[in-house]
Structure 1
Amino acid sequence: MKHEVRLEASTGSSVAVVHRQATRPQLGAVVQAACGVVWNTLRAAQVAGVGRHVAIYWDDTIRLDVGAEVAEPFAGAGEVVGATLPRGMTAAATHVGPYDQLGGAHQAIQAWCSANGRPLAGPSWEIYGHWQNEWNADPTLIRTDVYYLLADSAS
């Protein structure tokens, strides 16, 4: 799949997350389990305005925050804490297809940034589309938006 890279401002939206660390082979299972922890906590706390799942990758050691968008800042409950997405200009791409092919979107963004002289600030993140039943039968329909914070706009 060809990934079109675009510039997009991130406003630092509120999220509720858990902190995790994973190796590359563990990543899928860690993200899935962490999303469940956050979702169950938000449901138990009756938080309104819960949005899509997110995973924020802070560094190459795969130190990450996993959770969900929330309409208002989240005060925290247990290991689930309130946070924000990184704020600033990003290079972004939309991936439509199975999660195991998300690497193509990451590679496209990194190549675009290199070719266009746009250094990266460090964090990247994925926002997973709201699950739709058709995706169970056809994972080629799954939508994930991938973002990389650009160094010249990080704040």
Structure 2
Amino acid sequence: MDHVVTLENAEARPTAVVPARTTWQDFPTQWKGMLDEVWACLNAAGISRGCRNVMLYLDDVPNVEIGVELTQPCPLRGRVVASALPAGRVAVTVHRGSYAELGSAHRAVVEWCAARGHDLAGPRWEVYGPHRDDPAEIETHVYHLLA
């Protein structure tokens, strides 16, 4: 898939997340439980839809924040905390298709930035569109914060 990369000024967006320090090996088995924990918290507050799922990778350790964009205030409990997606100049692309191929979107942004002399700050994140059963209809926005 060809990924069109553009530059944007991102505003901070409030999130409810479970933060964690993990490994790339363990992360694939952890993220779903973290996301389920956030949704259980939102459901307990009467919120069952309208919040897009997000995964924020703060660095390469990885320190991650898994959760949702908040569209309204919500009491948080347990490991679920308030945070925000970073503000600043970003390179962004839209990935259409299977989540298993999201790596190609990240590579496209990194390569596009390198070819144009844009230094990456490190944090990057994914904002997921509405769930679709057909992988061809899945849309995920991939952001990389610029230095």
Q: Same fold (TM over 0.5)?
A: yes
- Give the equivalent residue in structure 2 for 1:80: 80
Counterparts of 1:6-155 in structure 2 under 5 Å? Answer: 6-47=6-47, 50-72=50-72, 74=74, 76-132=76-132, 135=133, 138-151=134-147
Amino acid of the structure 2 residue aligned with 1:20: A
**SS of 1:112 mapped into structure 2:** helix
How far apart in 2 are the matches of 1:38 and 1:50? 14
Amino acid of the structure 2 residue aligned with 1:144: T
Query: In the TM superposition, what is the alpha-carbon distance from 1:27 to its structure 2 partner?
Result: 2.6
How far apart in 2 are the matches of 1:62 and 1:49? 28
How far apart in 2 are the matches of 1:130 and 1:141? 9
Query: In the TM superposition, what is the alpha-carbon distance from 1:60 to its structure 2 partner?
Result: 0.5
Q: State whether residues 22 and 63 of structure 1, in contact with CA within 8 Å, keep that contact through their aligned partners in structure 2.
A: yes
Q: State whether residues 57 and 123 of structure 2, in contact with CA within 8 Å, keep that contact through their aligned partners in structure 1.
A: yes
Structure 1 unaligned spans of 5+? none
Distance 1:139 1:49, change over 3 A: closer
Q: State whether residues 74 and 83 of structure 1, in contact with CA within 8 Å, keep that contact through their aligned partners in structure 2.
A: no
Structure 2 unaligned spans of 5+? none
Q: State whether residues 8 and 89 of structure 2, in contact with CA within 8 Å, keep that contact through their aligned partners in structure 1.
A: yes
Between the aligned residues of both structures, percent identity stands at 39
Deviations 1:4-49 (A, max 9, x none): 1011221101100001233323333322221111011111022487
Instruction: Work out the number of aligned pairs and report it.
Output: 147
Distance 1:8 1:49, change over 3 A: farther
TM-score (ref. length: structure 1): 0.87
**SS of 2:68 mapped into structure 1:** strand
Deviations 1:60-108 (A, max 9, x none): 0111000001124555311101111100110001111111111100000
Structure 1 residue runs of 4 or more that deviate by more than 6 Å after TM superposition: none
Q: State whether residues 48 and 71 of structure 1, in contact with CA within 8 Å, keep that contact through their aligned partners in structure 2.
A: no
How far apart in 1 are the matches of 2:54 and 2:32? 11
**SS of 1:67 mapped into structure 2:** strand
Deviations 1:110-135 (A, max 9, x none): 00111111111110000111112xx2
Q: State whether residues 75 and 81 of structure 1, in contact with CA within 8 Å, keep that contact through their aligned partners in structure 2.
A: no
How far apart in 2 are the matches of 1:125 and 1:55? 5
Query: In the TM superposition, what is the alpha-carbon distance from 1:149 to its structure 2 partner?
Result: 0.6
Q: State whether residues 17 and 83 of structure 1, in contact with CA within 8 Å, keep that contact through their aligned partners in structure 2.
A: yes
